[in-house]
Amino acid sequence: MVKSKLAPTSSSSSALASSTSSTAALASASSNASSTASSSSSAASSMNANSGMRKPSPSLLEAKRRARNMLKSQTSNVAMQETVTDIFQNAVNAKNMERGPTALIYDESMAQHRCLWDEQHQERPERFTRTLERCKELKLIERCLPLPSRLATKAEILKLHSAAHYECLEQTSGVQDEAAMEELCSHYDAIYIHPSTFKLSLLASGSTLELVDQLLAGKAQNGMAIIRPPGHHAMKAEFNGYCYFNNVALAAQHALDHHQLQRILIIDYDVHHGQGTQRFFYNDSRVLYFSIHRYEHGSFWPNLPESDYHAIGAGPGTGYNFNVPLNAKGMGNGDYMAIFQQLLLPVAVEYQPELIIVSAGYDAALGCPEGEMEVTPACYPHLLNPLLRLANARVAVVLEGGYCVDSLSEGAALTLRALLGDPCPPLVEPLQLPSAELREALLNCIFVHRPYWRCLQLQQTYTADELAQCTDVAAQQQLHRVKRIWLGGPLPQGPQRYPTRGTSAQLSPEVVASNAARLQMLRRDTQLSVPATRVCYAYDMQMLQHFNLHDTSHPEQPMRIRQIHQMHQDYQLLARMHPLKARAATTDEVCLAHTRAHVNSVRRLQGRNEEELQQLGAGYNSVYLHPRTYECASLASGAVLQAVDSILRGESRSGICNVRPPGHHAEPDQPHGFCIFNNVAIAAQYAIREYQLERILIVDWDVHHGNGTQHIFESNPKVLYISVHRYEHGAFFPKGPDGNYDVVGKNAGRGFNVNIPWNKKGMGDLEYALAFQQLIMPIAYEFNPQLVLVSAGFDAAIGDPLGGCKVTPEGYGLFTHWLSALAGGRVLVCLEGGYNVNSIAYAMTMCTKTLLGDPVPTPQFGTTTQRPPTVAFQSCMETLQQCVEVQRKHWKSLVFGCKLPQSALGENNNEDFLAATMQQLDISNDDATATDGAIGIEHASGQERPSGSKPKVKALEQQEMFAIYPLKSCPHLSQLRPEEAPQSIETSSACGGCASTVENWMCLSCKAIGCGRYINEHMEEHCRREQHPLVLSFSDLSVWCYECSAYIDHPLLYVYQNLAHLDKFNEPMAWTHSSKRRSDGCYSTDAVQPEDAKKHQSDDSSNDEQESSDGNGNGHGFYIQLERNN
């Protein structure tokens, strides 16, 4: 369908006013930051007095008082958070946690809603009925907990929508006058109203509320609402885009009000931006809204500037609104997977939501004429899967759009299947790599959100000097330039009339046929059948017979696997798994990974006395030997092969191998590091030989590098080995350079060895989660394994005596769940190291429960903006940056490792210049009370402030912003004729080149209007062509000189800035220059000394109450550098 641009449409005057004010507020918020930065800069200049010393600014003193209080609060919070608790309490709590039901709610009457005057309208009943039919075909509905649908009450609707909005729709209930209804709908964008629409809209909202209530009451683990009409475009007082009441927003508000939740994550992957949902929570940090939508620089519906990446929230909600604008058609699985891995999941992990609601539109699916994207139906479970272990598994999926009934019904059904716990189906087609358009959009989004999210520090930054000095083309490509382009044209003004017929989008018959054939092929080849047995289990008590005869306290002791087995019994897991009868691996099988000489040397240990065994063991690195060592090692390897057989024969979905001795250090020709035979390596070679597998992934999360496994496969492209381990620059066992990030394999295996070396101790759930989502999972998906083997050492677990790391048992459960999305769920977890018997027992138990489908407590990742990043976290970021830099040469999915501009906060914020220099302030005196440990937690409400208003500030992470000092003069000022300035300046004037009203500038020589560098660059083109160097920003009233490449701050500019200020704020601009204001407007254009103009403030604490000034008493104003958009 061809939808029109968003504009106020309600026939009701109150609805019109409400909608208009909502739009205006967001537009105001978009430009507020730039204005505030300029205003604050002017205020800074006014502080300097001609007479030298003067009374300090009250706002400066207030900032200092709040900063001091923040530091005290941080110290207190850190102390509270470090209170000693039972480190295994979450794992203990999981003992009785079994998988709950998946709730499903729908109502057959929702098929009544249809367009009476356009039978070809794409929002038609078949969207609903075909989805239910497909769910029934796959026998999914009978596996769900059915919930009764209900109507939302008027009070519930009025939580977000206006009374006039509610009553307007209520008055249409049962109305049969088709002409009158069509006339009413013509006042709204993309709306039709049926006699049943009011009731069914209440039913859709009420059903969504009911689903959320049941999840939060613990009656269901997760659930899906298959409903219509959709809701995410509905605004406070305006129907819009097929939506009447905003189902998801109402459910979120209900959870806030009635269940007192504090963190709700809304994920909206409908191809159209859910501007209604965004507006409801734009100022609310309790709701994080994350939207992925087609945008095409504003040319795609709903054609709003607020749908771009720069709209990041306002006030307390700053940083909690994410827009990922897709600026090209045809984006597919690889693009969407990259968004989840590189941005959504890291942020979700850090945010730690209590509830996740998915606005599940399927109009980005292949074949949809509206979205024209190419996400395949089987990809949607892969997008959903990593979220299912966050928020304590409370995930609600709510149907929105989708207008190709074949891809909609299949995608929605496979989503429900994923909620039920079935494995993600393998993707039939190779995963397409992220597009260049996606790369640019995602990096832009990361750029503006970096100051607010600790997890978004993977990309390094570059300075303006570095960009200017970079001449190498390849190097320039690694310096991302942030741009904003607007192609949406001017927004409509005033009431509009919208078409009501023939509005559905159409594809050519050839494209429709091609999409249909492709969808049919995908449906035919997608493997949905899975074994009934979820997990097989390998364990044999004979493996207890290998132990150290001379040191009963040796960490590699029989109690390790006995304790794991006992805890599985205590948690009642053994009866739920298929037990495997262990067997010894044959010599030929062991020789798949080892030399025959090595096997024979271990076999000859049988019958040796204790002294001989001790002497032989001393000849190896960290190895003890026992007369039963060969028998136990052969049994361990054979048990793993039994599990491989069970999985690859289709008898079990996944497996747990509770075996010892461990194996990943064992070299092809000798034992090493407690390891005799390399169990996982033998299993990989066995799967290749016996089952002709071509791609096997080994993930080794043992805290020690698996040197043996690496050496065995370093030239083999069929095995991708990924090891995340403690390294300490080569000083941690097994020591040496082999475990470093730059070791990538040899010959044909080059690129198939990935080392993630930790150079500091203390790595925990957060650091490992970032490694998984930003490195391990992208590479794994690109590799597309047929089997996943996990070398599951648990010596990185919290409490381990050797590892020194802090991964929790529930953290290991989460990582296992993420890996289970690969290879159709064929995952085999094999014990390696881990030497705190309690840690490894809890950790392996959490892995098992995960594979059985049980909920596992979500890890408490421990991130907070009030705590400085730990040494471990900072080292983690450095390691991941190094790994991405090396591995991106081999894996094209790692295209996001370039540098971002070193810049200040995004343009949408209300920070002032004080925040830029907080590190230079002396905050040792003047105690004052602040709230919640934050500096100036009060925020602007989205309205622009004139320069005279008092700024608010808040704490910023160090080195996230810097100041730009404007020149105090410029040789091009002589071109200005202030006496010829216009009588007024309209800051809302459109660009003369493209009619854009966003981020425009005015030429001070000829008064031409042009858009900025991040739109269509018309102002720069004009000034270069006409040789008019000075321009005035309509956003922040700053003046830029193209010839000097600098901002200019001079009294001659006041007349222009004041006229713009009058237009924007209806009051004169304050005089902030140190010189007296002259009635004739004549001021010297002599430049001050460069060293004075560019000199930075001293951070000498003894002068913290004295404003800086040059030798002549002239103050140095400065601007916060946001995005330079001239």
Active site members = 233, 665
Q: Give me 515's structure tokens.
A: 């999409």
- Report whether 857 contacts 389 (CB < 8 A): no
161: burial class by Cβ within 10 Å (0-12, 13-18, 19+)? buried
Q: How far apart are CA 637 and CA 629, in angstroms?
A: 12
Is cis: bond before 302, omega within 30 of 0?
A: yes
Q: How far apart are CA 56 and CA 1019, in angstroms?
A: 40
- Report whether 241 contacts 190 (CB < 8 A): yes
Distance between start and end Cα atoms, the chain: 36
Strand ranges in 795-840 using DSSP code E only, listed in sequence order: 827-831
In what helix (H) or strand (E) does residue 1032 lie, and over which residues does it extend? strand 1030-1033
Is cis: bond before 229, omega within 30 of 0?
A: yes
Q: How far apart are CA 324 and CA 274, in angstroms?
A: 12
Residue 1046, phi then psi, degrees to nearest 5: -155, 155
Strand, coil or helix: 132? helix
Q: How far apart are CA 727 and CA 736, in angstroms?
A: 9
Q: Give me 510's structure tokens.
A: 């050839």
Q: Give me 396's structure tokens.
A: 């609600």
- Report whether 498 contacts 309 (CB < 8 A): no
DSSP 8-state symbol, 911: -
Q: Give me 459's structure tokens.
A: 């990309």
Residue 357, phi then psi, degrees to nearest 5: -120, 130
Q: How far apart are CA 252 and CA 228, in angstroms?
A: 18
Nearest to 859 by CA among 831, 822, 825, 817: 817
Rounded to the nearest angstrom, the gap between the alpha carbon of residue 6 and the centroid of all alpha carbons in its chain is: 28
Contacts of 84 (CB under 8 A, 6+ apart): none
Q: How far apart are CA 712 and CA 1072, in angstroms?
A: 71
- Report whether 1023 contacts 1003 (CB < 8 A): yes
Give CA separation, 481 vs 4, 441, 900, 1023, in Å: 31, 11, 7, 22
User: Which strands make up the sheet holding 1046-1048, listed edge to edge?
Assistant: 1009-1011, 1000-1003, 1030-1033, 1039-1041, 1046-1048
Written as one string, the DSSP assignment of 190-237 is T----TTHHHHHHHHHHHHHHHHHHHHTTS-SEEEE--SS--TT-BTT
Q: Give me 321's structure tokens.
A: 């609104």
Written as one string, the DSSP assignment of 165-187 is HHHHHHTTTT---HHHHHHHHTT
Give residue 298's identity as a one-letter amino acid code: G
Three-state SS across 533-577? EEEEEECCHHHHHCCCCCCCCCCCCCHHHHHHHHHHHHCCCHHHC
